[in-house]
Amino acid sequence: MTRARIYIIMCMLALIPGISPLHTDVMAQKAGDIINVKPADEEKYFYAQQIPDEVFKRMHGKSFPKNCTIKRSDLRYLHVLHINKNGKTQVGEMVCNKSISADLIDIFRKLYKAQYPIERMVLVDDYDADDEKSMEANNTTCFNFRMITGSTTKVSKHGMGLAVDLNPFDNPYIKGKVIKPKGAKRQPEITRTSLPYRLFTEHGFRWGGAWKSLKDYQHFEK
């Protein structure tokens, strides 16, 4: 959605009784924007909704390809705040399965309150649904339709919108000598004593860093 269209919508909403300027301000924020938010207003920036048409246009043919077997109605668009690596408040977005949307809103709200740094949170579609490019940019994501490796019929956890990759460049995938993404170090930021581990596992997620055959430190799935 262009900023001109957003402005028009804001003006129309401002004329409706019960719609405050703050609500229209929140709608105008774009993922990646650095903003100043009063503590009393933070809660309004954390919400989940059905996939808006403008968001689905970004996804269609990318994270939501023609062969996608997941229904659009089973997905949710999340709007959150996060603290970036420079300590600034930044707008984040994510698409996930509706069954974990409340979990993720609560988790990212608590990470924000704790000032836990997340470098970037935009849809993987901004990288043409290319996981490698998204990981190299340290972009935190969830939904990206695909099958599990070696299968043509079984949908992966990311393909169902049931897995989150958090700060993937700082928390790499490691199997033997293979490290992804390129340039990442073997030492991850997330450990069993980290806040993300505690929050995700409290909500019933499994951590890829605990796997035996490989380590996927960025990965939490349900």
Q: Which of 77, 46, 49 is nearest to 63 (CA)?
A: 77
Same domain, 19 and 78: no
- Whether pTM > 0.85 for this model: the answer is yes
How many structural domains are present in the chain? 2
The per-residue DSSP string of 88-120 comes to -EEEEEEEEEGGGHHHHHHHHHHHHHTT-B--B
DSSP class of residue 206 equals E
Q: Which domain holds residue 12?
A: 1-29
107: pLDDT strictly greater than 60: yes
Same domain, 20 and 70: no
Q: What is the mean pLDDT of residues 30-46?
A: 95
- Residue 61, sorted as left (phi over 0), alpha (psi -120 to 50) or beta, turns out to be left
The fraction of the chain above a pLDDT of 90, given in percent, is 84
Binning pLDDT at 50, 70 and 90, where does residue 211 land?
A: very high
For residues 37 and 26, is the Cβ–Cβ distance under 8 A?
A: no
165: pLDDT strictly greater than 80: yes
Render pLDDT for 109-132 as a digit per residue (tens, 0 to 9): 999 999 999 999 999 999 999 999
Mean pLDDT of the chain: 91
DSSP class of residue 66 equals T
Same domain, 146 and 38: yes
Same domain, 174 and 65: yes
Same domain, 213 and 191: yes
Same domain, 4 and 67: no
For residues 145 and 63, is the Cβ–Cβ distance under 8 A?
A: yes
Same domain, 139 and 204: yes
With residue 123 as reference, give the H or E element that holds it: none
Any idea which of 73-87, 102-116, 141-155 has the lowest mean pLDDT? 141-155
